[in-house]
Amino acid sequence: MKNTVGDFQSPTFLVRYTSFVQFPYTVKRSERARSLRLSVLPGGNVVLTAPVFFPEAHIQEFLQKHSSWIEKNTQKMRSVSVLPVSGRRAYLAHREKARAFIHERLVYWNQFYRFTYGRVSIKNTKRLWGSCSRKGNLNFSYALLFLAHELAEYVVVHELCHLKEHNHGAEFWKLVEKTIPEYRKRRTQLRSIQLG
Ligand SMILES: [Zn+2]
C-alpha cells in the first residue's frame, strides 16, 4: 500500500503495513544513515531511517522487537498537534507582525502588573514559546502568532510574571492566576502543541 504521510512528499516515504509488523510505518532510506533510527512524529507517524541497502527483513525484525516502545510513543504523540509553520522563511515573513502583536499584548497585560521589562526579542524557536532573562529581557517565539489567542495571552502573561518571580513556585502561579484564573488548562493545552 502506497501513501504519503504528513509533510513528506518524497517517494522514499511510503506508509507500509505488513502481516509481520502490525502498525503503519514509514521507511526513509538515507545515504548518511549508518544504523537504524526510529522516531515517532507528532500525530503518531512512525518513521524509521535506514541505510540505503539495509535489508527489508531486518527492518521488520527491528520494528517487531521495538513494538512496545513504538506503541507507547505513538499513543503519546497522537495527542500532539503541529502548527503548520516552520523554517527560517516563515520566521522572517512573520517576525515583525509577531513583534507588533506581542508588544501590544505586553502593554495590555502590563497595565495590570506594572512590571519593568527590558529588550523584547522575537525568536525563531521551536520548543520554547517564551523566556525571561535575569536582566528582565523577554524572548518570544514568532509562532505565538499562530497559537489560539488565549494560549498566546497565557504565554505573554507567563513571561511577564517571571519578571517578578524567576521560578515556577507557588508565588509565581499566584501572579499568573490574577489575570488568567484557568492557567492550568492553558498550560496543558500549550504542552500538546509543537512547531513543525
Ligand atoms: Zn516559566
pLDDT in tens, 142-175: 989 888 889 999 999 999 999 999 999 999 999 9
Centre of ligand 1 from the C-alpha of residue 57, in Å: 47
Grid coordinates representing 23 are 502498525
Cα 157 to ligand 1 centre (Å): 10
Residue 4 has pLDDT above 70, yes or no: no
Q: What percent of the chain has pLDDT over 70?
A: 82
Position 87 scores a pLDDT of: 78
Strand 138-141 relative to strand 120-123, pairing: parallel
Q: What strand order describes the sheet that includes 46-51?
A: 15-16, 25-30, 46-51, 37-40
pLDDT at 196: 59
> What separation in Å is there between the alpha carbon of 44 and the centre of ligand 1?
28
Report how far ligand 1's centroid is from the alpha carbon of 161 (Å).
Answer: 8
Distance 60 CA to ligand 1 centre (A): 42
pTM of the full predicted structure?
A: 0.63
Tell me, what's the pLDDT at 139?
97
- Distance separating alpha carbons of residues 62 and 66, to the nearest angstrom: 6
Percent of the chain with pLDDT over 90: 44
**pLDDT score, position 183:** 96
pLDDT above 50 for 132: yes
Give pLDDT, residue 80: 67
What the chain holds in terms of domains, given with CATH numbers, is 8-79 (no CATH), 88-194 (3.30.2010.10)
Query: What pLDDT, on a 0 to 100 scale, did the predictor assign at position 167?
Result: 95
Look at residue 79 in the predicted model and tell me its pLDDT.
Answer: 65
Per-residue model confidence (pLDDT) at position 194: 73
What is the distance in A from the centroid of ligand 1 to the CA of 114? 18
Question: Closest Cα to residue 62, out of 6, 21, 12, 115?
Answer: 21
Asked whether residue 91 carries a pLDDT value surpassing 50, the answer given is: yes
C-alpha 162 – ligand 1 centre gap (Å) = 7
DSSP conformation class of 38: E
Task: Provide the terminal-to-terminal Cα distance of the chain, rounded to the nearest Å.
Answer: 26
Whether the per-residue pLDDT at 82 is higher than 70: the answer is no
What pLDDT, in 10s, does the model give residues 5-43?
Answer: 333 333 334 444 444 556 678 888 989 988 898 888 766
Mean pLDDT across 37-60: 84
> Which pLDDT score, from 0 to 100, does residue 128 have?
87
Gap from CA of 165 to ligand 1 centroid (Å): 9
Q: What's the CA gap between 195 and 127, in Å, rounded?
A: 7
* Model pLDDT, residue 110: 97
Query: Do residues 116 and 163 lie in contact, with contact meaning Cβ atoms separated by under 8 Å?
Result: yes
- Distance in Å, CA 85 to ligand 1 centroid: 23
CA of 171 to the centre of ligand 1 (A): 12
- At residue 125, the 3 state secondary structure works out as coil
